[in-house]
Amino acid sequence: MNKLIISLLTFGLTLFVSCTDKTELKLISNVDNPEWVADAVIYEVNIRQFTEEGTFNAFYNHLPRLNEMGVRILWFMPIHPIGEVERKGALGSYYSIKNYKAVNPEFGTIEDFKRVVDKAHEFGMKVIIDWVANHTSRDAEWLNNNPEWYIIDSVTNKPVAPFEWTDVAKLDFNNQDMRVAMIDAMKFWIENADIDGFRCDVASEVPVDFWESAVKELYTINPALFMLAEAEDPSLQINAFNMYYGWRFHHIMNGIASGKYNTDTLRAYFSRDIHKFPNNTIPMNFTSNHDENSWNGTEFERLKDYTRQMAALTFVMPGMPLIYNGQEVGFNRRLEFFEKDIIDWKDSSDYTVFYKKLIDLRKENPALSAIKFNGLSEIKTSAPDKIFAFIREAGDNIVISIFNFSQESVDTKFLNSKMDFQLTEFFTGEKINFSDNIQMNPNSFKILIR
């Protein structure tokens, strides 16, 4: 730790402990993170709604733009054929899979998809696809050929529909033949389309030992495979997944915007909740995704005046930020989930500049690395009920983030610091001395770099 940081910690910072109960054993993950994850930003692609055509070939034309923006990981929502039995809406749910080894003909062909993957790789991007292991459609090839692979309702003698999702049938992971077939289907996409990983739907509904077995086999094909769990379950991170959904933090952001939570809630999260996970696993931080947008509202609906502030927070806190397609142009509408509903791509938007700047922030500052978990340390200020400020560092690189979560202007100061050094505000270039009074506008933030 460099001398400047030692001085800061001595004169003004409150370090968070690993967990509330010091006798609790810290989990250790055996999953290695590829180096390319360090400064990565993940971008969720909804092919159906991305363009008027709703095809891989139409999306292909957006790859240069996304590369220029700095996106590193493309996550494609399910690309497989969608079931027709009990289908929801005209087009159905992406998560009602009819055939794991095929692509939805509405999107194009597997060759079209491979063309997208190859071009993304040329740009240095990685590609992961959504994987729905918990269930299939109710007219899936598996159900027709191997009904014993499913959990059957003892009363109706029909496959169980999990969570009242009437268009799908739940698989039985006690059946070893089904497990073998599932892993084989995952291998298919690594071997035939050269994908770099999977985002695993409702991952905690599938036994942990299946994921561990699957990953062990998949690593023999691609040792740098990247696995994202749609879950917030520490047990999944020990031997299977690199990254998990930061649901708890997402709800805290919504709660602060609605007045339900405050800065003390943030302190509790960073001092306790995040430390329930192994240090080398990665929370995915997000203000929106396909579920939140369609069912709970856009980030503008939920976060209101805090929208930009919370987006910035997801980029500077420990973890990896997610951008859901359309956020980078300030798209403000709930997308239909089962019908065609095209994103309105504006010619230009200050949100495009904003997100590009946030991505640059991560790339230029190793203190914000997703894989070298250094947590964060809170800086005490003169307005702790309104201001949450923290520091992250790596070597000589220092990033200090200051957030005013109140509706008032606040003139604040770092407490007890005898240091007096200069930092640069990343967005404006403003020079600020550490000992200065800092003027914070309502619902605002400053990112100070040294």
Q: How do residues 176-210 score in pLDDT, each as one tens digit?
A: 999 999 999 999 999 999 999 999 999 999 999 99
Could you tell me if 267 and 401 lie in one domain? no
Tens-place pLDDT, residues 80-104: 999 999 999 999 999 999 999 999 9
Could you tell me if 225 and 343 lie in one domain? yes
Does a structural domain hold residue 330?
yes
- pLDDT bucket at 24, cuts 50 / 70 / 90: low
Could you tell me if 203 and 315 lie in one domain? yes
Region 354-376: what's the mean pLDDT? 92
Residues in the chain: 450
Domain end residue (candidates: 334, 354, 373): 373
Tens-place pLDDT, residues 326-346: 999 999 999 999 999 999 998
Tens-place pLDDT, residues 41-52: 999 999 999 999
Element (H, E) at 219: helix 208-219
Residue 3 pLDDT greater than 60, yes or no: no
Could you tell me if 320 and 197 lie in one domain? yes
Tens-place pLDDT, residues 367-392: 999 986 667 999 999 999 999 999 99
Question: What b/e readout covers 322-361, taking b as 16+ CB neighbours within 10 angstroms?
Answer: bbbbbbbbbbeeebebbeeeebeeeeeeebbebbeebbeb
Number of domains, the chain? 2
Could you tell me if 285 and 396 lie in one domain? no
Q: How far apart are CA 186 and CA 190, in angstroms?
A: 7
Amino acid at 17: V
Residues 6+ apart with CB under 8 A from 37: 226, 242, 282, 320, 370, 371
Residue 6 pLDDT greater than 50, yes or no: no
Of residues 372 and 235, more confidently modeled: 235
SS3 (DSSP) at 37? helix
What is the Cα 224 distance to its own chain's centre?
18
Domain interval for residue 422: 378-449
pLDDT, residue 416, reads 67
Tens-place pLDDT, residues 104-148: 999 999 999 999 999 999 999 999 999 999 999 999 999 999 999
Could you tell me if 281 and 319 lie in one domain? yes
Structure tokens given for 67 = 């590369």
Does a structural domain hold residue 51?
yes
Question: What b/e readout covers 60-77, taking b as 16+ CB neighbours within 10 angstroms?
Answer: beebeebbebbbbbbbbb
Amino acid at 185: A
Does a structural domain hold residue 348?
yes
Residues 6+ apart with CB under 8 A from 315: 41, 285, 321, 358, 359, 361, 362, 368
Does a structural domain hold residue 304?
yes
pLDDT, residue 5, reads 45
Closest CA to 66 of 55, 78, 50, 80: 50
Could you tell me if 188 and 302 lie in one domain? yes
pLDDT, residue 227, reads 99
Region 220-229: what's the mean pLDDT? 98
Q: How far apart are CA 418 and CA 384, in angstroms?
A: 19
pLDDT, residue 164, reads 84
Could you tell me if 41 and 181 lie in one domain? yes
Region 282-289: what's the mean pLDDT? 98
Of residues 292 and 20, more confidently modeled: 292
Domain end residue (candidates: 373, 390, 416): 373
Domain end residue (candidates: 373, 392, 418): 373
Does a structural domain hold residue 438?
yes
Residue 17 pLDDT greater than 60, yes or no: no
Region 18-23: what's the mean pLDDT? 36
Q: How far apart are CA 284 and CA 358, in angstroms?
A: 16
pLDDT, residue 290, reads 98
Could you tell me if 294 and 243 lie in one domain? yes
Residue 75 pLDDT greater than 90, yes or no: yes
Burial of 154 (0-12, 13-18, 19+ CB in 10 A): exposed
Region 263-275: what's the mean pLDDT? 92
In DSSP terms, which residues pair with 433 in a beta bridge?
Answer: 422
Structure tokens given for 230 = 């749609």
Burial of 254 (0-12, 13-18, 19+ CB in 10 A): buried
Does a structural domain hold residue 158?
yes
Could you tell me if 301 and 412 lie in one domain? no
Structure tokens given for 341 = 């509903």
Could you tell me if 352 and 397 lie in one domain? no
| HSE-up (13 A, CA, CB side) for residue 268 | 8
Could you tell me if 365 and 396 lie in one domain? no
CATH code at 160?
A: 3.20.20.80
CATH code at 383?
A: 2.60.40.1180
Element (H, E) at 177: helix 176-193
Does a structural domain hold residue 4?
no
Cβ contact 410:404 at 8 Å: yes
Region 232-251: what's the mean pLDDT? 98
The average confidence (pLDDT) of the chain is 93
- pLDDT bucket at 18, cuts 50 / 70 / 90: very low
DSSP structure class, residue 295: I
Residue 151 pLDDT greater than 90, yes or no: yes
% of the chain at pLDDT higher than 70: 92
SS3 (DSSP) at 279? coil
Does a structural domain hold residue 326?
yes
